Amino acid sequence: MSGKFDFDSMGIGDLLKRGLLTVPANQRSYAWGEKQVRELLQDLNEAITNDDPDYFLGTVVLVMKDDGVPSIADGQQRIATTSIILARMRDLQTRLRRGPRAQAIENTYLREIDVDTEEHVPKLRMNIEDNEFYANDILQHHGLDQYNPKRTPEKIASNEKLKKASSLIVEFLDDVIKPLKPEQQSDYLNRWLKFIKERASVVVVTAPDEVGAYRMFETLNDRGLKASQADILKNFLFSKAPNRLNEAQSLWSAITGAIESLGDPDGSRLVTYIRHYWIVINGPTKERELAASVKIEISNESKALSFLKACADGVNTYVALWSSNHPYWSTHRPKTRNAVDTIAHHLQIEQIRPLMFAVALKFSVNEAEKAFRLFVSWSVRFLVFGGRGGMLDSQYSLRAAEIGDEKIKTAAALRTAMSRYVPTDPEFETAFATARVSRARLARYYLRAIENEMAGTEQPEMVPNEDVESVNLEHVVPLTPGDSWGLSDDEAEAVQKLIGNLALMQAGPNSQEGNGSFADKKKAYGASQFKTTSMIASFEKWDASSIRARQSELAKLAVGAWPLAFK
């Protein structure tokens, strides 16, 4: 290759017609479910029905290998699904006794003669898990009874997805042509064929190498983006370990299996995990920089295997950050587990994960407990005060790397390193006194933590997960205030989502007065078991000044609920 990218626009049918395409042997298997397949079929059908001049399917990224056969870096799902559509069109043409048309589809888009073996071989070669099933089952002729819901599913999940896609496609196409007269059905299928060949277009980008293909995803923003990035990283690492490929594959499977337990349909969490581990050992790394950085640092087989082993060793610790019930936390104290749940379930923030990961990998049990409590306080303070742009990502990543190379070994040292960036008590109190909250989840958590602070609870910021149906979050000034409030729309909007206007109410009869007046609601507030709510009843009226006065009191308590000092 010249090192440059080649671009070509064509129908996806013409891409299949050109000749052999391969899915790298160890790339992700077929993954489209019913939703994606049906969406493609419906989009094509609408475009064909409307006689649209073009339907853009996105970008296909290829990497030309030394043997001259293009390898699919991105676009496998669309290409494979299109080939199944063509195979089932061939079957329907056969059923309609249009043999020449069926044979033309077979020879032009599905198989070709291998001049060496004189055998018919698929124009699309799938990966290790899918290739045999695709060639020997999916490309074979099938009738409408191909998929019986009661049959035993295929043992390999991606094979089952291929078969379900095939069944859905043949049923969809049969429904499309069923209303037509028999003599019109074959012609309408032929109309589909011509559209797929010429007007269901893709932009084909041929990249000089895998890393070059990876960089393309930063600008293409196409379907399959994250999964393709994971595939390219995997293939690069495998290419560096040709003599220990089985070991590399085994380590990669361990990594992906653990990450998939979190739910990772598009591969995004896998890429994020690799980047977060890379941050711990190499410092701040943006996603667009990851491939180039990996290529520079991992230059031989030994480094590739060491990196894969380290990732495999650390992946269960990373997965544990989403649940305190993970076995990893069995040796940690309840305070640490409570912090894990608070960050995962109440705050649901991502920026701090590289730092959490580094602490979980490197700190002792005692120091991890202190650090994780700090993480809860820092996270709330940044949510209320503001993240200060890209500073937060950078500083969390820098601290993660300093922990990774053991420059920081204690929570106190970590707190000192972050002290100039984390909002101080006065800054946090001032910000909290005027803060608005749009997400009910966060509002509930803030008020429950402050409630705990008022009650003198040891860990006020560690709010247990509760049944949200048992506690209502109420806007004292309702979202749709009646005439009794005497507020203009602008006046109501200015105060409705201020923390001072939000209250917790135990669910049950008379727990919510809805859009009633303040006088109607006041008695229920005064009787509430929540102190942050009962304090509302001390106000004679409820207006902007009352809301701000209550919020100022809550802000003073917030400083204690999310402290910077170790308790």
One digit per residue, pLDDT tens: the chain, 567 residues?
446 788 899 999 999 998 889 987 766 788 898 989 999 999 999 999 999 888 999 888 898 877 778 888 888 999 999 999 999 999 999 999 999 999 999 999 999 887 777 788 899 999 888 999 999 999 988 655 554 555 567 778 889 999 999 999 999 999 999 999 888 999 999 999 999 999 999 999 888 876 666 555 545 444 444 445 777 788 788 888 888 888 998 899 899 889 988 887 667 899 999 999 999 999 999 888 898 899 899 999 999 999 999 999 999 999 999 999 999 999 999 999 999 999 999 999 889 999 999 999 999 999 999 999 999 999 999 999 986 656 888 999 999 999 999 999 999 999 999 999 999 999 999 999 999 999 999 999 999 999 999 999 888 888 776 655 678 899 999 988 888 888 888 888 999 999 999 999 987 644 445 667 888 888 889 999 999 999 999 999 999 999 999 999 999 999 999 999 976
Q: Are residues 254 and 196 in the same domain?
A: no
What per-residue confidence (pLDDT) applies to 225? 43
Asked if residue 243 is part of any domain, the answer here is yes
Asked if residue 567 is part of any domain, the answer here is no
Asked if residue 557 is part of any domain, the answer here is yes
What per-residue confidence (pLDDT) applies to 548? 95
Q: Print burial letters for 13-34: b (CB count within 10 Å at least 16), e (below 16).
A: bbbbeeebbbbbbbbbbbbbee
d(CA 553, CA 538): 13
What is the residue whose two structure tokens read 């074979």? 140
Asked if residue 1 is part of any domain, the answer here is no
Number of domains the chain is built from: 3
Q: Are residues 471 and 426 in the same domain?
A: no
Q: Are residues 418 and 352 in the same domain?
A: yes
Q: How far is CA 134 from the centre of its chain?
A: 28
Asked if residue 35 is part of any domain, the answer here is yes
pTM of the model: 0.68
Q: Are residues 397 and 540 in the same domain?
A: no
Asked if residue 214 is part of any domain, the answer here is no
d(CA 500, CA 435): 9
Burial tier of 370 (Cβ tally within 10 Å: 0-12, 13-18, 19+): buried
Of residues 205, 209, 200, 147, the one with CA closest to residue 172: 147
Q: Determine how β-strand 111-113 pairs with β-strand 120-122.
A: antiparallel
- β partners of residue 436: 498
Q: Are residues 86 and 166 in the same domain?
A: yes
What per-residue confidence (pLDDT) applies to 216? 59
Q: Are residues 37 and 159 in the same domain?
A: yes
Domain boundary among 372, 396, 430: 430
Q: Are residues 512 and 402 in the same domain?
A: no
Domain boundary among 395, 410, 430: 430
Domain boundary among 381, 400, 430: 430
Q: Are residues 203 and 236 in the same domain?
A: no
Q: Are residues 196 and 229 in the same domain?
A: no
What per-residue confidence (pLDDT) applies to 191? 95
Instruction: Name residues whose C-beta falls within 8 Å of residue 62's C-beta, 6 or more positions apart in sequence.
Output: 21, 70, 71, 72, 73, 204, 205, 206, 207
Asked if residue 479 is part of any domain, the answer here is yes
Q: Which domain holds residue 144?
A: 6-208
Q: Print burial letters for 412-423: b (CB count within 10 Å at least 16), e (below 16).
A: ebbbebbeeebb
Q: Are residues 452 and 425 in the same domain?
A: no
Asked if residue 66 is part of any domain, the answer here is yes
What per-residue confidence (pLDDT) applies to 509? 43
Q: Are residues 144 and 292 in the same domain?
A: no
Q: Are residues 278 and 376 in the same domain?
A: yes
- Greatest Cα-to-Cα distance within the chain, rounded to the nearest angstrom: 93
